Amino acid sequence: MDFKQLAKDVVEQIGGISNISQVRNCSTRLRFDLKDYSLVNEDKLKKIKGVAGVVNKGGQFQVIIGTEVAHVREEIEKLGSIVQGDKGVGQKGDKGGVINTVLDVICGSVTPVIPAFIAGGLFKAVLSLFVLFNLVSKTDQTYVLMNTIADATFYFMPILVAYAASKKFNCSTILSMTVAAILLHPNLIALRTAAKPVHFFNIPVVMANYSSSIIPSILAVWFLSYVERFAERVTPKIVKVFVKPLLILAIVAPVTLIVLGPIGSIIGNGLTNVFIFLDGIGTWIVPTLIGFVYPLLVMTGMHWSLMPIFLQQIAKQGYETLSGPGALASNTAQAAASLCVAIKTKNIEKRQLASSVGLTALMGITEPAMFGVTLTNKKILACVMAGGGIGGFFAGITHLVRYAPGGASVETLPLYIGANPMNFIYAILTVIISFVCTFVFTWIFGYREDKVSEVEKVDNVSEIQNIKVPYVNGDVIIHSPVKGKIVDISEVPDPVFAEKMMGEGVAILPESDIICSPVKGRVLQVFETKHAVALKSDDDLEIIIHIGLETVNLKGEGFQVLVKEGDEVNIGKELVKVDLQFLKNKGINPITSVIIVNHENRIITKSLGDKNIEDSIMQIAN
């Protein structure tokens, strides 16, 4: 992959480097804060080679790249200086502004420190294995030191989050981390341990446990960002270097201890207690729900909202049941659906894509599978959700837990190793159950190559099956160019046609090798690769006949053109001879699209179903 060119292409379609307020990445996505969202060209972005999809949710514009995303971000940063500025102008969907902003802040404050959480979590898993195989004892000093290394990430989580949040709010990193460090100071812990009332100038201070917390730090840094701007304005230049930080700390630290810290602690603990309560009602409830809806959460970015809660749960209980078990089932389901499509499809390119993203999903990176396979077909998405829900249910009834954060995949199964040896076995069984169920569902119900359904109404287009459409004076009739089954253009498994980017029309599953003219007129263009012909009818309709999917890559092989540009044609005139057996051997879908480029929103009546050559398939009202 040419990271430099990909970075240049992406930046060009989001309005240029000057439109970027901030860019960062998670495991698969570029996450942009933009100054003017109206400058983004989503359609062209989606067509860039190397872009798996785009998402405009959670107050961010996200571009899905895959596991090489960090290299692309580095190349973007080399293209020019990214200047912080006002953002969000022209963004669609502002109705959910508060929720989007909260998700954006959580994501921006947590994403940069995920590597530390993963390292700490995996270190805990290794330590659990050492204990399981009697390599160390919990009374050994070696165990104590190793446990300290593993716990440090979680204990000092407020400081790490403060660092990332300062980047998000564009304020002093050092002062942000200092305020977070205050929450973890031994003197504060001693006051809390003493269990006596604490006051600050006669103002009562609630003594909360801030270790392993996230929300108090985010609130503190958010407040600091405003205080810093205030201090910048009111502090004289001659004493700014020492008075400004003193003023910031003198305001932010007490407010954090008295107000923001306790509020953040209540929110974090309250949300955690809700899920602990649900677990008490039935251990299957949360994993089943998460396993079922997790693709939708990832698609919208809502899955980030779970992180503060399950990190609090780990800190409080030593394990979590909110995200890990259900996400493990769901991510496995994504992989199973993609690999099923890879095995079942005859399209070479689709097979390569589905197999690649399927294996990536097994490793926990599901966005390529989601945007490349799952979301392209509602039935496949339903199969993934059903398989994930079943796997989540099994995880719930066996009380599967994850002992540390760090992903939910085959690769991170060691995170499920802990005090209960059977927990790891249950994790493996969850993977197997989710995979098998989803694979079977997708094979039987989810993926049907070349099988399309008929739609009763599409905008201003009415469709009639197996009815000869009578000619009405002044109307234009389009005839079938080949014998076969007529389906609506929206059912073509290619968004260029299905989303009517080229125009309105129908598609045909051809049963004959000869493609004929559907109208009386002349040949406008014969494409160099012989897979398509453009016509202009005597009624001035411009029509494109496109034979097969991705047939441009054949460079004319398997096609014989029987006309040339400028030729006059009548209805039924032979245009192209195509070797259908050759296409079948190549694993290429021969579905042939008949597109009216300049229909100008006129009413089009379509006649679907099995048709012979020259039967009426469309009637365009004048």
Residues known to be catalytic: 26
Does an H or E element contain 473, and which? none
Query: From the CB of residue 315, how many other CB atoms can be counted at a distance below 10 Å?
Result: 21
**Reduced to 3 states, what is the DSSP secondary structure of residue 540?**
coil
Q: Could you give the angle at the alpha carbon of 444 between the alpha carbons of 441 and 446, nearest 5°?
A: 65
Buried/exposed 336-361: b ≥16 CB within 10 Å, e otherwise: bbbbbbbebbebeebbebbbbbbbbb
- Which DSSP state fits 28? S
Cα–Cα distances in Å, from 4 out to 23, 52, 72, 254, 529? Answer: 16, 17, 7, 47, 30
Angle formed by the axes of helices 285-300 and 324-344, nearest 10°: 60
Distance CA 461, CA 621 (A): 11
Distance CA 115, CA 121 (A): 10
Query: Cβ(575)–Cβ(561) under 8 Å?
Result: yes
Distance CA 330, CA 295 (A): 7
**One-letter amino acid for residue 553 of the chain:** N
Full DSSP string of 366-385: -HHHHHHTGGG-HHHHHHHH
Query: Cβ(294)–Cβ(137) under 8 Å?
Result: no
Query: From the CB of residue 489, how many other CB atoms can be counted at a distance below 10 Å?
Result: 23
Which backbone phi and psi does 394 adopt, to 5 degrees?
-60, -45
Total count of residues recorded for the chain: 622
Q: Is 39 exposed, middle or buried (0-12, 13-18, 19+ CB in 10 A)?
A: middle
Cα–Cα nearest to 114, from 365, 367, 372: 365
Helix ranges (DSSP H) in 282-414: 285-300, 307-317, 324-344, 348-362, 367-372, 378-397
- Which DSSP state fits 416? G
Structure tokens at 121: 């979590």
Cα–Cα distances in Å, from 103 out to 97, 192, 321? Answer: 10, 31, 21
Structure tokens at 543: 């029509």
Cα–Cα distances in Å, from 68 out to 27, 30, 585? Answer: 8, 10, 34
Q: Which residues pair with 516 in a beta bridge?
A: 574
Query: Cβ(366)–Cβ(339) under 8 Å?
Result: no
Full DSSP string of 188-201: HHHHHHHT--EEET
Structure tokens at 35: 């100054």
Query: Cβ(576)–Cβ(556) under 8 Å?
Result: no
Does an H or E element contain 60, and which? strand 60-64
Structure tokens at 218: 């985010």
> Which residues, including other chains, have CB under 8 Å from residue 457's CB and lie 6 or more apart?
463
Cα torsion through 505, 507, 512, 517, rounded to 10: 10
